[in-house]
Amino acid sequence: MGFKFISLFLLLLPLLTLTILSRADQALASDKKPHESHRNRTVLASAGRVKIAALKGRKQTRECNLFQGRWVFDASYPFYDSSTCPFIDGEFDCLKFGRPDRQFLKYSWQPDSCTIPRFDGQAFLNKWRGKRVMFVGDSLSQNMWESLGCMIHASVPDTKTTFIKRTPVSSLIFQEYGVTIFLYRTPYLVDISKETLGRVLNLGTIEGGADVWKDMDILVFNSWHWWLHKGVELQGWDYIRTGSSLIRDMDRLDAFNKGLTTWAQWVDQNVNISQTRVFFQGISPTHYVGKEWNEPRDNCNGQMQPLSGSTYPGGSLPAASIVSRVLSSMKTPVYLLDITTLSQLRKDAHPSTYGAAGGSDCSHWCLPGLPDTWNQLLYAALSM
């Protein structure tokens, strides 16, 4: 009798297992995302830990940190030819302004734990047909905006476009698809007001332009580059207003923290997450001090290849820590495109002396170049 019972149990075991798994799947499917901690979602997103639904025809369930990896030589790069893209500003068009080497164009970013999808401009347009994308920030936002325009244009070179450059809002429309990619220039995100005593940086207010941001389908914010500028000609303000105080200057990291906190509060109060995906571009590094990467050179001039490995000798940037901390405190899930370390490794990718602006530019990036990788990671985050 005992033997018959065991045999019957063994026959029924697969059916019981399938029933249990089926009910488990149903329970997972009915688990609504609003019950998940907003804080946890932000922290996970900022670390780049996303699950890939499918990769090369098979399901991959392990987690992937998009931003931990290394640069590898890739003969299939770049994504486009700068001479055929009509959207590149002279300050980013390094080949046009005489850069003789091209090896810097031939590197792709390889995460340690997975393979990211290659950018497909036509697939992007089809997925976001009729939608609006906006980059909000300073000239690094412009760098990324022009890069995305060129990457898409290379996939659909014959589609009609409308390209308008104005201040503060510029736009690029891919007419057949109804996709508009905007750039909103505002280097500090918070307001600068013109008052009788001069230009005042208001760390506690966001009014100018914020209404324009509300109805976008994808928002990519960026700020930091201008917070370090000093001097009447370079900085964009004469006084800082913080609370009830009006002061000449303050610690710039503290000012950035206050301004970014005001931005975070605005996002939490005004962005409809059922419509809008929100990203923060992350801190873009500069390469003006050669000792940061253990070389005697003063800056990025003459650099022709990235650093090997996955860590930067100069260490992390304090501003990046502020960004992570502010984002982790928000109710709204904001995905951090954590491009800092991978960009620190690209000492070779700046315009240096090969740009329309002249001088030695170790802050911005050549196009084609590093911002194309930022957009590929944005594409991966939107696709996964």
Catalytic center residues: 139, 361, 364
Residues present in the chain in total: 384
Contact predicate 238/194, CB 8 Å:
no
Neighbours of 356 (CB within 10 A): 13
Contact predicate 142/367, CB 8 Å:
no
How far apart are the C-alpha atoms of 254 and 258, rounded to whole Å?
A: 6
Q: How distant, in Å, are the alpha carbons of 140, 197, 327, 357, 373 from that of 194?
A: 25, 8, 30, 28, 38
Neighbours of 217 (CB within 10 A): 15
Contact predicate 337/281, CB 8 Å:
yes
Neighbours of 183 (CB within 10 A): 25
**For residue 291, what are its two tokens?**
């000792």
Could you tell me how far CA 20 lies from the centroid of its own chain?
A: 41
**For residue 170, what are its two tokens?**
């510029």
With tokens 């994808």, the residue in question is 218
How far apart are the C-alpha atoms of 110 and 115, rounded to whole Å?
A: 7
Cis peptide before 78 (omega within 30 of 0): yes
Amino acid making up residue 299: N
